[in-house]
Amino acid sequence: MEDLPIIQKTYDFVKWYVPILNKLPRDHKFLLGNRIVSNLYNLLERLIRARFARDKLPLLESLNSELDLLRYQTRLLLDF
């Protein structure tokens, strides 16, 4: 069974982003870095769950807030 493009791209994004977060200074890595990693894994997990759900729309709509949170966390990293 082939993955949906969004799942594959999210998987690739996690693989790309986590090593970058591991290079952060210690204080940022353990606070902001861990939160971002948790959110990334949660995003991937929820996309996979939505794939098999009957009613996908509520699950996918709830991911919008998580994506927005990741955007702001990434912007914070750029400010440091």
**For residue 33, what are the domain limits?**
5-79
pLDDT tens-place string over residues 28-53: 777 888 899 999 999 999 999 989 88
Compute the distance between CA of residue 69 and CA of residue 16 in angstroms, rounded to an integer: 18
* pLDDT above 90 for 10: yes
Q: Which helix (H) or strand (E) holds 30?
A: none
What is the number of domains present in the chain?
1
Cα 1 from chain centre: 23
Cα 23 from chain centre: 18
Give the predicted TM-score (pTM) of the model.
0.83
pLDDT of residue 2: 65
Compute the distance between CA of residue 43 and CA of residue 37 in angstroms, rounded to an integer: 10
